[in-house]
Structure 1
Amino acid sequence: MMQPIRFRMGASEWSILILLSILWGGSFFFLEVALGELPPLTLVLCRVGLSALLMVAFMVITRRTMSKHRGLWPALFLLAALNNAIPFSLFAYAQTHIASGLASILNATTPLWGVIVAHFLTADEKATPAKLAGVSIGIVGVAIMIGGDLWTRLDGDLTAQLACLVATFSYALAGVYGRRFRTWGVGPLEVATGQLIAATVLILPLALLIETPWHLPFPGTQTLLALAGLALLSTTVAYFLYFSLIQRAGATNALLVTLLIPVTAILLGTLVLGEVLRPRHWAGMALIAAGLAAIDGRLFDRFRRRPVGPAQTG
């Protein structure tokens, strides 16, 4: 019997969300490194192609097979377009014009689109004042973490920034669309594998026709390592976790990961590179935590459910 979606996440769902934020936070760094030698579509092709090979190899080794559900592959191709081909290409293009930090900030608008899309396209993930308030608070927190130079950065390449926003809207559509595989009995591993195969098929002709990658020099060690991290960690492992989270906690909750990505990026910079956290970073993280708490709802329920003392009688 299929377990119901837990829209109020527990410890295991929050753990997956945090791990996802670390894996996808690293993707912006890997992209920045790899784009030094590879054009956008070729980079995306390498990312999804390598990830598809890894997923297929795992399926073969573990003797798993794809579901025979009618209509599965057309649905996977649409999911691949919304979740891989379109957003990956747009973000790769954008990062040839704007910094990876700004791209990750714009990526944090995804849960706002997710709340809106889920409200109109689902019956059980309607927008609530708490959700809207929580996402808005979280986005303000992201902006505060970046500081006063955010507005200067937003005066940069407008086309690249719009590309990021279109990509986040596509992610939101994909998050809601991806829910259907659960009702078909298709597991997260099958969805991730099929999606990456389909994405490779979609991107391959575009990369070959537009960028003729066979004319490019062979990439250096740094680029190859970035591709490995991008394919193995930020795509293969991340998508298995992502579709697991959608099936367990719903699309709106899964898309909250994009609010955490700038937080993990700054924390990793502090722990790994010795960067110093400034007061605005702590303030921004506090607002993001408040936003997530508002969306989760349990903290506020405790205040609403406080027992009321006996009525006074005169």
Structure 2
Amino acid sequence: MTQNMTSRAWGELMLLALIWGGSFLSIRVALDEIPFVTSVAFRVGVAALVLWGWVALRRLPLPRDPRIWGALLVMGVLNNVLPFSLMAWGQLHIETGLTSILNAGTAVFGVLAAAIFLADERLTPRRALGVTIGFFGVAVAIGLENLSSFDLRSAAQLAVVAGTICYALAGVWARTRLTGLAPQVQAAGMLTGSSLVMVPAALMIDGIVVPQQSDTILAVGYYAVVATALAYLLYFRVLATAGSGNVMLCTLMIPPVAILLGAWVRGEVLAPTVYLGFALLIAGLLILDGRLFRQR
């Protein structure tokens, strides 16, 4: 639903875009020292602790049905374990700015997944057009020539796209299995479920890894506490005040932040086709949003 945006809501939306845009750089900085499985374990584990502290502070009611906790575990796998791991591994081989652009395809896959699995989400002609243009934008950003000569970089880009598909499926799962649950409790439970998967996986695959460099420690603290735990709380606030239609605008605001930070801090340079793909993706998302059509 799209609601009228106040100046405060705009400010919170831009702050959320800045926070999530900066997460791509912080993850890449941490990956210079720690393995990607451990980086994800730090992210979900620390964020879960922070959110449970918030839940306890607000004295929010907890679910008692074991089936809900099982659904939260599945949600943690779909929304955290798989996409965080796929994207972290992908960032080892592609630029942070490109990762953020491919990540923006989440909204496109979300519309398609909802149309497939949810009876009340029809794929109207306008949505079908937006999805088609969005798909084309993702393909252009990846570069069709990269798929014809498949290599590690191509695999990394496809891994990021696979992560966005996981996000889309997680949205459907939440709609069907987690309705009526306080969003803060849902986020804390989801991150707990993902921690139960990622922490043992990190210990088995990487062993005990302790970051030594101050840049790594700050990066982990940023993407775990600020860009995951606190960003979830801000996201729920913006969602309640601005509506899901306006929150989609955040998807368009994140890549410019990530691109600028990647170029400034790590000297990344993206190919012109990447920007063309992002422009097409923006067009697809604006068509999906629909407000321009309503105004006309």
TM beyond 0.5: yes
Change (3 A) 1:73 1:65: same
CA drift at 1:96: 1.8
Q: Residue in 1 aligned with 2:171?
A: 175
Q: Residue in 2 aligned with 1:197?
A: 192
Matched, 1:28 2:24: yes
Measured in 2, the distance between the counterparts of 1:164 and 1:219 equals: 28
Contact 1:119 1:125 in 2 (8 A): yes
Q: Which ranges of structure 1 fall in alignment gaps of 5 or more residues?
A: 1-5, 304-314
Change (3 A) 1:11 1:288: farther
Measured in 1, the distance between the counterparts of 2:201 and 2:273 equals: 42
- Aligned to 1:133, the other structure's residue is in SS state helix
Measured in 1, the distance between the counterparts of 2:175 and 2:23 equals: 24
CA drift at 1:241: 4.0
Higher helix share: 2
Change (3 A) 1:292 1:160: closer
Q: Residue in 1 aligned with 2:291?
A: 298
CA drift at 1:253: 7.4
Q: Residue in 1 aligned with 2:83?
A: 87
CA drift at 1:64: 2.9
- Aligned to 1:126, the other structure's residue is in SS state coil
Q: Which ranges of structure 2 fall in alignment gaps of 5 or more residues?
A: none
Measured in 1, the distance between the counterparts of 2:184 and 2:158 equals: 32
Contact 2:211 2:217 in 1 (8 A): no
5 Å-filtered alignment, 1:47-196, equals: 47-69=43-65, 71-137=67-133, 157=152, 158-180=154-176, 183-184=179-180, 186-196=181-191
The equivalent position to 1:219 in structure 2, one of 202, 212, 235, is: 212
Measured in 1, the distance between the counterparts of 2:199 and 2:282 equals: 40
The TM-score, its normalising length taken from structure 2, stands at: 0.80
Q: Residue in 2 aligned with 1:309?
A: none
CA drift at 1:264: 3.2
CA drift at 1:255: 6.1
- Aligned to 2:119, the other structure's residue is in SS state coil
Give percent identity, aligned residues only: 41
Measured in 2, the distance between the counterparts of 1:174 and 1:246 equals: 17
Measured in 1, the distance between the counterparts of 2:190 and 2:53 equals: 15
Q: Render the CA deviation track for 1:286-308: whole Å, top value 9, x for unaligned.
A: 766654442232332233xxxxx
CA drift at 1:152: 7.2
Matched, 1:11 2:5: yes
Measured in 2, the distance between the counterparts of 1:60 and 1:232 equals: 17
Contact 1:102 1:153 in 2 (8 A): no
The equivalent position to 1:209 in structure 2, one of 204, 209, 232, is: 204
Alignment size in residue pairs: 290
Task: Supply the AA of the counterpart residue of 2:190.
Answer: Q
Measured in 2, the distance between the counterparts of 1:11 and 1:45 equals: 36
Measured in 2, the distance between the counterparts of 1:113 and 1:285 equals: 15
Measured in 2, the distance between the counterparts of 1:159 and 1:285 equals: 19
Change (3 A) 1:256 1:209: farther
Change (3 A) 1:284 1:169: closer
Give RMSD over aligned pairs.
3.7
Structure with more contact order per residue of length (Cα contacts < 8 Å, sep ≥ 6): 2
